[in-house]
Copies of this chain bind each other. A is one copy, B any other.
C-alpha cells in the first residue's frame, strides 16, 4: 500500500506546497477502503468533504430514469473528486462508485476550507484543478453534441495513446461497457464501431489491447468525422 504522504505529495492538487504543509494536510485526511462496485456517494447527497484516490479507480456518473448511464469521469490515483459541494454549498450533482477495489483519502470540508484561507497557493491549485475540469467538460459537451460516435472513439483512442506513452499499442483501462458509457453510447454500438474500424485498417483489437495502425486516419476521423479520403 502506498503511503498517504506519497499520494498527497504526488497529487497535482497539492503540487508546490512545502513539506510541512503536506504533513498538515495528511493529518486532516481520513483513509477509507472500498471494495469494487461500491457507491461512494449519490447525486443529491450532502457533501461534507472531498476525496482523493489513493489506490484503485472511481467513476463519476449520471443515470437516466430508463437506466442508461453516462460516465463523466474516471479517476485514478492522485486525482481528487467530489469537490463541487465543498465550494458551491450545494449537493452532489452526480454519483460516484468504485470500479475497482480502492483506497480513498477523505478531506473534511471545514478543515480543508480552513487550510485554504491560510495557504493561498492551495486555493490556486484548487482553482487550477476545477478549471481543468471545466475544460474537460467543455470537450465532452462538444463530443456529445457535435461529433458522432466514431469520432468520439477515435478522439478517445488518441487521447489514451498520449496518456500511455506506448508507441502505437494501447490498453483500455476500463471495460468496453464502461467505455461505451463514457462516450455516451451503448456497448452494442461501440462493438460495431470497433469492428468497422478494424475492417477499415484503422486499428487492430485484441481484447483490451488496441493497436493504432493509422494515426492520420484516426486524427482526421476524430476531427471532421471522415476517415482520410484518398484525393
Q: Which residues of A contact B (CB under 8 A)?
A: 62-66, 68, 70, 72, 83-90, 93-94, 113, 116-118, 120-121, 123-124, 126-128, 130-135, 137-142, 144-147, 184, 223-225
- With beta carbons under 8 angstroms apart, the residue of B88, B132, B146, B223 that contacts A131 is B88
Taking CB atoms, residues of chain B closer than 8 Å to A66 are 224-225
Q: Within the assembled complex, what's the spacing in Å between the Cα atoms of A41 and B11?
A: 32
- With beta carbons under 8 angstroms apart, the residue of B113, B120, B137 that contacts A137 is B137
Q: Within the assembled complex, what's the spacing in Å between the Cα atoms of A94 and B66?
A: 32
- Minimum C-beta distance from A141 to chain B (A): 6
Q: Does A126 lie within 8 Å of B127, measured CB to CB?
A: yes
- With beta carbons under 8 angstroms apart, the residue of B63, B88, B116, B131 that contacts A135 is B88
Given A127-B123, A130-B130, A138 and B65 contact (CB-CB distance below 8 Å): no
Q: Within the assembled complex, what's the spacing in Å between the Cα atoms of A89 and B128?
A: 8
Q: Does B84 lie within 8 Å of A135, measured CB to CB?
A: yes
**Residue of chain B at shortest CB distance from A86:** B131
- Minimum C-beta distance from A114 to chain B (A): 10
The 9 closest A-B pairs by CB, nearest first: A64-B146, A88-B131, A123-B123, A137-B137, A87-B127, A87-B131, A130-B130, A70-B145, A93-B138
